[in-house]
Amino acid sequence: MLDQQRDYVLRTVEERGVRLIRLWFTDVLGNLKSFAISPAELENALEDGMTFDGSAIDGFSRVQEADVLAMPDPNTFEVLPWGDPKSVEARVFCDIHNLDGSPFEGDPRQVLRRNLRAAHEQGFTFYVAPDIEFFYFAPPEKGQAPTPLDEGGFFDLTTTDIAGTLRKETIRTLETMSIPVEYSFHEDAPSQHEIDLRHTDALTMADSVMTFRLVVKEVAAKQGVHATFMPKPLEGVQGSGMHMHFSMFAGEDNAFYSDDDPYNLSPTAKQFMAGLLRHAAEITAITNQTVNSYKRLVPGFEAPVHISWARNNRSGLIRVPIPKRGNPSATRIEYRSPDPACNPYLAFSVILAAGLKGISEGYELASEAAANLFELDDAALAALSIETLPQSLSDSLKVMEQSTLVREALGEHIFEWFLRNKRSEWRAYKTHVSQFEFDRYLRAL
């Protein structure tokens, strides 16, 4: 089949007059990286991969053996719907290999592949559907706070819903790139929007999230608007999350569904949830990887703070949405802490690893926390033995560092590099003196 896939790609490049093929991959922090090749090089690239110097990429390098190999995954070949129609471009995602052909440990896509294989070996396919929130702002100026679009002033025609137009154009572009959209709407905060993607297997979805972030930014930039996935860009209003809906299928059947449970959750689903809850603190550095992420995870803004689950209570970390009647395949769980600035390959990897751990060890799921946890005081929470998520990047890193689960899920290379990189981010932040401190202390002290 691989032969024919390659053939398909080569013929399409020829027939559609593609001038440039962009080879896409992702660094450890979740930034999309790309280099371009001409059609003449493509056949070779599909066959043998393209060598490049990995030391230029964050988290890739070990200086003494810097060269790595980008192997295009022909299944992800797509003609890009933007740009000059006379000089068509296409993209293809790559897996990164060592020169000897073995998977490169620094490549997040390979890390996800490895974790998905573990699920496959237990007979499961892992499906993900993310709800991605983001803001539209006027182009940011250095040192200035962001300006929301719909606060007036930025656009002359206040009657025109420019953001609505942007969102429509974004969805059209996503659909032409094989990324189906389920819903989209204007969120609570000014200038905040949400687009929900339809479920697909986790590898395709991680690729889709990378494409999604680029498409949202590209479409906005064309209209002179800046789109951002920064988790908490505006103080005092809710931040941007990336709630993730998960289910696992065993062949045709949803392994999370059961007929004879009041919540229609199978033992597998409950063990998965138990695993996710027990290891939630350990994986938070990956699902919420910036200093800013933790300014979203505070009470009062619909973001989770407590490690708990519930059916309809949005203050929990895991929510179990009630599926439409008679649709077992829609049974799923929603994990609410991740934000859209995470690396989707690594986030899906650690979440899956935590869930599978719950299944293999037969973890017991704690009972549902039906109350609004934000209304309970510490003593009441302690009585329910409900803990909180790490409160800062520094706290998250400390928990992650002790985690065998995360170490194994990410592999030694990424685990070590990530901790090093993020500790230095925290150190840089710690030395910063903020407006908060001037306002509070400068005159008073």
Q: Name residues contacting another protein, limited to 318-337 (CB under 8 A).
A: 329
Q: Which one among 38, 44, 178, 312 touches another protein, defined by CB under 8 A?
A: 178
**Do residues 390 and 282 touch, judged by C-beta distance below 8 A?**
no
Q: Cα separation of 44 and 37, whole Å? A: 11
378 binds another protein (CB under 8 A): no
294 binds another protein (CB under 8 A): no
| Closest distance of CB 246 from another protein, Å | 13
Q: Which one among 61, 98, 200, 313 touches another protein, defined by CB under 8 A?
A: 200
CB-based contacts of 387: which residues, under 8 Å, 6+ apart? 281, 306, 307
Q: Which one among 199, 213, 278, 357 touches another protein, defined by CB under 8 A?
A: 199
CA dist list (Å): 74 to 6, 44, 173, 327: 6, 13, 21, 34
Backbone Cα Rg of the chain: 22
385 binds another protein (CB under 8 A): no
* Size of site (CB under 8 A) for another protein: 36
Secondary structure E strands in 155-286: 181-186, 192-197, 200-201, 226-228, 242-250, 253-254
Q: Which one among 31, 35, 55, 78 touches another protein, defined by CB under 8 A?
A: 78
Secondary structure E strands in 1-137: 18-26, 32-37, 50-53, 67-72, 78-79, 88-97, 125-137
The residue among 173 and 288 lying less far from another protein, judged by its C-beta, is 173
Contact region for another protein (CB under 8 A) — 11-19, 48-56, 275-283, 336-344? 11-19
The residue among 77 and 135 lying less far from another protein, judged by its C-beta, is 77
Report CA torsion sign: 416, 420, 59, 111.
positive
76 binds another protein (CB under 8 A): yes
| Closest distance of CB 113 from another protein, Å | 12
84 binds another protein (CB under 8 A): no
93 binds another protein (CB under 8 A): no
**Do residues 148 and 234 touch, judged by C-beta distance below 8 A?**
yes
Surface-to-core class of residue 302, CB atoms within 10 Å of its CB (0-12 exposed, 13-18 middle, 19+ buried): middle
377 binds another protein (CB under 8 A): no
In the shown chain, the binding pattern of residues 136 to 175 toward another protein, with x for contact by CB under 8 A and - for none, equals ---------------------------------------x
Secondary structure E strands in 29-124: 32-37, 50-53, 67-72, 78-79, 88-97
47 binds another protein (CB under 8 A): no
Secondary structure E strands in 214-329: 226-228, 242-250, 253-254, 309-310, 318-319
Contact region for another protein (CB under 8 A) — 74-82, 219-227, 275-283, 400-408? 74-82
Got the DSSP string for 336-351?
Answer: ----TTS-HHHHHHHH
Q: Cα separation of 430 and 157, whole Å? A: 43
Q: Which residue has the tokens 């006379």?
A: 86
Q: Which amino acid is at 75?
A: N
Q: Which one among 201, 361, 412, 439 touches another protein, defined by CB under 8 A?
A: 201
20 binds another protein (CB under 8 A): no
Q: Which residue has the tokens 């995360």?
A: 406
Got the DSSP string for 348-413?
Answer: HHHHHHHHHHHHHHTPPPPPP--S-GGGS-HHHHHHTT--B--SSHHHHHHHHHT-HHHHHHH-HH
Contact region for another protein (CB under 8 A) — 72-80, 135-143, 147-155, 338-346? 72-80
| Closest distance of CB 142 from another protein, Å | 39
Q: Cα separation of 30 and 51, whole Å? A: 21
74 binds another protein (CB under 8 A): yes
270 membership: H or E segment, kind and range: helix 267-278
83 binds another protein (CB under 8 A): no
The residue among 121 and 141 lying less far from another protein, judged by its C-beta, is 121
Q: Cα separation of 72 and 25, whole Å? A: 9
In the shown chain, the binding pattern of residues 104 to 123 toward another protein, with x for contact by CB under 8 A and - for none, equals ----------------x---
| Closest distance of CB 92 from another protein, Å | 10
In the shown chain, the binding pattern of residues 222 to 251 toward another protein, with x for contact by CB under 8 A and - for none, equals ---------------------------xxx
Q: Name residues contacting another protein, limited to 252-291 (CB under 8 A).
A: 252
| Closest distance of CB 120 from another protein, Å | 6
Residues that bind another protein (CB under 8 A): 1, 3-5, 7-9, 11-12, 14-16, 74-79, 81, 120, 125, 127, 175-176, 178, 180, 198-201, 204, 249-252, 329
